[in-house]
């Protein structure tokens, strides 16, 4: 006797197997590199990355600056002498990342409620005594309905966070928006023994915020995307196993 598995069950099995397939592929790559240091990423053109998307933001109308004949000064110029700051696609500037965040939140909530409802039918057109004939066990008109409820809710929550990051990374201008703002992207990798530390930064910068030393603070980067992490033997030990991660996702309790 052949039993067919319902299609919904097959779909659930397929969905549950997808993370396992990805885990197997990652495991195969790790097994192939046993005893080897984690490889560094190649230096590629970010525009050729399939995940790259050009930035599109609301922009003002382009301004056409008039040219002055027989004049060394042109309207709209930022300086009389040459400017060595990054302004064009491919130019390099330095990003200073200095994060010192502290947050502390304490919340306490207490709520209590008590409710009591009583209802009786002592006079109902003289028919109150007939109610006992309707119900098998009979009722007492003076205590027809009595309801009571008590609810108590108490909650406490606390959040304490402290983060300090001091880093410097160089970024490349990959796009110049029509209003003159610069789209930057930078990546830095440092390998020490069998651990790679990776720092990435991306966002939009105003040319006016770039200092004379060709640096910009991370607080002056719009749509900033800053990531600092690592990969290697130490990171692998600190991460939970694949089975535990899957259980954390699908376990209802």
> pLDDT digit string (tens) for 5-27?
666 656 666 666 666 555 566 66
The rounded distance, in Å, linking the Cα atoms of 177 and 173 is: 11
**pLDDT tens digit sequence for 112-165:** 877 776 666 666 666 666 666 666 566 666 666 666 777 787 888 887 888 788
pLDDT in the model for residue 217: 94
Task: Tell me the pTM.
Answer: 0.59
Q: To 10 degrees, what angle do helices 242-250 and 7-32 make?
A: 150
Label residue 233 by pLDDT band (50, 70, 90): confident
**pLDDT tens digit sequence for 42-74:** 878 878 888 888 877 776 677 676 666 666 666
102-133: buried (b, 16+ CB within 10 Å) or exposed (e) per residue? Answer: eeeeeeeeeeeeeeeeeeeeeeeeeebeeeee
The partner residues of 158 in beta bridges, in order of sequence, read 106
**Structure token digits, residue 2:** 């052949």
Asked whether the CA dihedral 161, 165, 171, 177 is positive or negative, the reply is positive
Contact 39, 158 (CB under 8 A): no
Please state the separation of Cα 141 from the chain's center in Å. Answer: 63
């Amino acid at each position: 006797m052949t039993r067919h598995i319902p299609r919904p069950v097959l779909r659930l099995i397929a969905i549950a197997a997808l993370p396992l397939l990805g885990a197997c592929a990652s495991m195969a790559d790790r097994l192939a590199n046993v005893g080897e240091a984690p490889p560094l990423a190649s230096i590629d053109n970010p525009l050729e990355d399939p995940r790259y998307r050009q930035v599109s933001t609301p922009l003002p109308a382009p301004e056409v600056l008039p040219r002055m004949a027989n004049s060394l000064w042109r309207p709209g110029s930022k300086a009389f002498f040459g400017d060595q700051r990054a302004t064009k696609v491919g130019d390099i500037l330095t990003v200073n990342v200095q994060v010192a965040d502290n947050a502390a939140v304490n919340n306490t909530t207490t709520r209590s409620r008590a409710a009591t409802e009583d209802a009786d039918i002592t006079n109902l057109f003289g028919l109150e005594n007939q109610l006992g004939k309707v119900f098998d066990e009979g009722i007492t008109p003076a205590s027809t309905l009595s309801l009571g409820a008590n609810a108590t809710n108490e909650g406490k929550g606390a959040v304490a966070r402290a983060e300090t990051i001091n880093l410097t990374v160089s970024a490349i201008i990959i796009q110049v928006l029509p209003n003159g703002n610069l789209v930057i992207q930078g990546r830095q990798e440092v390998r020490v023994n069998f651990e790679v530390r990776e720092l990435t930064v991306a966002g939009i910068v105003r040319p006016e915020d770039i200092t004379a030393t060709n640096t910009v603070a991370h607080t002056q980067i719009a749509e900033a995307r800053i990531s600092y992490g690592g990969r290697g033997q130490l990171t692998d030990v600190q991460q939970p196993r694949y089975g535990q991660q899957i259980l954390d996702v699908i376990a209802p309790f």
